[in-house]
Structure 1
Amino acid sequence: MKAIFDDRQWKHEPGHFMANGAILPNPEQCERIARLTEGAKAAGCAFQAPDDAGIGPIAALHSPEYLTFLQTIYTRWRRIEGAGNEVIPNIHPASRGDGYPKSAVGQAGFHQADTACPIAEGTWEAAYWSAQSAISGADLLHAGDRSAYALARPPGHHAFGDLAGGFCFLNNSGIAAQRLLAKGLRPAILDVDVHHGNGTQGIFYDRSDVLTVSIHADPERFYPFFWGHAQERGAGPGLGYNLNLPLARGADDATYLGTLDTALTRIRSFGADVLVVALGLDASIDDPFKGLAVTTDGFARIGAAIARTGLPCLFVQEGGYICDALGDNLTSVLSGFRDAAG
């Protein structure tokens, strides 16, 4: 399997985020790259750099207003007297109407959903090349490869069309799916991250051309809280094209794999001819977020189940945080897929 990564993705080095009123070290550390790279190589992946497809495929999902914000906000923020080293909003609109603030502080609140997506000097460049890695992965599938892995870091599935959140800035999985759609394919997105892919859902919620399916810890008491409930099925033309499968905290391999069967049945019913897997490894029993309890062997079985669909598959990295099992879990899911695909 080919793997895609660009060294400029190291440039995003978030320092902090806030949880339960406390300022903590940000879990989305650069060290993830090293561990995921080793995990992919152990599964037989050969890495290559992405091509630069330009901003067009990114702008197909993200508004020009938002992309301008991401490219310019750090420089503007640093002009504020006494500003911190990272762009972290201290105000958010209760509702996002037609008004748009001119100030850097106001725009940060408008375009950043929470305090877990700090923007620093290298954030835009890293996010841009993370998206290009996913785009190049999509292009490999269109060119005939049956599978590919995009080490997309920073991750993307909490990013809406004009809103960052939850460590995410550009919706890499969604951008890849849109790229495949533009090339005449019929993509589905399967999100297996422990957190609901609320940004992905939001982007495609009123559309019928991309199916979105998410398996995640129940958001009643887990991030992102306000999205990911089972009754959220899409709207307008998209009604019935969004499937959320929330699981109780601590759900094990058997429960997860049974739910995955339901997800894959929906993907078959959609008639997808290509699959984008938003590959969160934070469903692991060893992950610091402690949402679900999938074992390393369980990830191999997840990969095998996905392979049995027979669909060309692009794995786009989402979550999965620093723990001893992180690299092994990636090796497991990619190896499980490879072995079952034959």
Structure 2
Amino acid sequence: MLTFHSPDTQLRQPVSELHGGEMVSPFECPARVEIILRHLRASSLGEIRAPHAYGLDPVLAVHDRGYIDFLAGCWDAWQSAGLPGEPTPSVWPSRCMRGDRIPEHIDGKLGYYALAAETAICAGTFAAAQASKDIALAATDHVLDNATPAFGLCRPPGHHAASDQFGGYCFFNNAAIAAQHALDRGLSRVAILDVDYHHGNGTQQIFYDRDDVLFLSLHGDPLEAFPYFLGHADETGSGSGAGYNVNYPLPTGTDYPRWCQALEQAMQRIGDYRPELLIVSLGVDTYEHDPISAFKLASDDFGDYGRRLAQLGLPTVFLLEGGYAVEEIGRNVVKVLHGFESA
């Protein structure tokens, strides 16, 4: 299985994250990629290739222009305002405030375009986000051109990024950009299966009223888990997208047999939909020792569900999302990919 990777994903190096009421070192860190690369190179999965630059047109196909301009200029605007530290949102247009006016000051603008306070923006964020979506697009093109699977070693991840909001370590929605790119290349139906512990709220929002993308997500119940305000089972799509959004919220402590039941149900829905491409938002933070998640999958379970996904018989691209048990992330990612290949 071909892997796509760019060293520019390492340009994002924030120093802080708000977690549990204190500032800590970010859980989403460059070491995640380094360890996955080490395991990939030690495996028999195949070549690691660099993507070419696709520019911003594929991004603008799913994201708001004003939002992209904000991300491109955020760091410089923060510096120009003479503010210390890293750009971090601290105020939002909440239910009791207006949300139809975008502040001019960077502090207010951050809150307008943010969905949470844990994700800081640093000097290399925009460049890393561009590299990450290039990886996703290159992996998708490879699958479409060769009918063989590919893995996009994306960083930063993407599935929390909505059309005009960042958060959950995500800035460009890599899976959504890849799906739209595939449709623009002539496909009629794409399925996105999100197996990250956290709900892919951004992907859901982008495609919620469309029937050309089936979105399915297995995740921690939003009553208990980030992002809290999206991901319930009664969110099934609207308009022409009614019935094409499928959420499987699962309780804290979910083990592999229970998780696998939901996976089988999702696979049945995918089979009925008959997509021409499957995009897997591959978060391995379902691992039992992940520090910011609460499922109980063991390492061998990742290989098993990789084999199950292969049974769909679909052109498949895997794009990295979460996974914060850093020392184990490489092993768990490679197990999914090996499982898929072995089937």
Q: Shorter-chain TM-score: what band? A: over 0.9
SS in structure 1 at match of 2:223: helix
Note the alpha carbon deviations across 1:200-239, whole angstroms, 9 max, x for none.
1011111111000000111111111101111111111111
> Which residue in 2 is equivalent to 1:80?
81
SS in structure 2 at match of 1:44: coil
Equivalent residue letter for 1:325: E
1:318 and 2:334 aligned = no
Whether the 8 Å contact between 1:117 and 1:169 is mirrored in structure 2 is no
Equivalent residue letter for 2:135: S
1:12-91 paired onto structure 2 within 5 Å: 12-41=12-41, 42-81=43-82, 83-91=83-91
Note the alpha carbon deviations across 1:137-183, whole angstroms, 9 max, x for none.
11111112320000000000000011001000000011111111111
> Which residue in 2 is equivalent to 1:273?
276
Whether the 8 Å contact between 1:273 and 1:311 is mirrored in structure 2 is yes
Note the alpha carbon deviations across 1:238-287, whole angstroms, 9 max, x for none.
11100000111111111111110000111111121110000000000121
> Which residue in 2 is equivalent to 1:288?
291
Whether the 8 Å contact between 1:78 and 1:85 is mirrored in structure 2 is no
Note the alpha carbon deviations across 1:292-315, whole angstroms, 9 max, x for none.
111111101111111010001000
> Which residue in 1 is equivalent to 2:148?
146
> Which residue in 2 is equivalent to 1:305?
308
1:174-185 paired onto structure 2 within 5 Å: 174-185=176-187
Whether the 8 Å contact between 1:39 and 1:329 is mirrored in structure 2 is no
> Which residue in 2 is equivalent to 1:106?
108
SS in structure 2 at match of 1:289: coil
- The Cα of 1:43 is off from its aligned counterpart by 4.8
- The change in CA–CA distance for 1:3 and 1:133 in structure 2 (over 3 A counts) is same
TM-score (normalised: structure 2): 0.96
Whether the 8 Å contact between 1:85 and 1:120 is mirrored in structure 2 is no
> Which residue in 2 is equivalent to 1:333?
336
- Matched-pair identity in %: 38
SS in structure 2 at match of 1:161: coil
More moved, 272-281 vs 95-104 = 95-104
Equivalent residue letter for 2:126: W
Whether the 8 Å contact between 2:192 and 2:216 is mirrored in structure 1 is yes
Structure 2 gap segments, 5+ residues each = none
Name the CA distance, whole Å, in 2 between partners of 1:13 and 1:140.
Answer: 29
Name the CA distance, whole Å, in 2 between partners of 1:89 and 1:224.
Answer: 16
Name the CA distance, whole Å, in 1 between partners of 2:282 and 2:129.
Answer: 17
Name the CA distance, whole Å, in 2 between partners of 1:323 and 1:19.
Answer: 17
Name the CA distance, whole Å, in 2 between partners of 1:197 and 1:162.
Answer: 15
Name the CA distance, whole Å, in 2 between partners of 1:38 and 1:20.
Answer: 31
* Residue-pair matches, total: 339
- The Cα of 1:54 is off from its aligned counterpart by 1.3
CA RMSD after TM alignment: 1.2
> Which residue in 2 is equivalent to 1:239?
242
Equivalent residue letter for 1:276: I
1:189 and 2:192 aligned = yes
Structure 1 gap segments, 5+ residues each = none
Whether the 8 Å contact between 2:13 and 2:30 is mirrored in structure 1 is yes
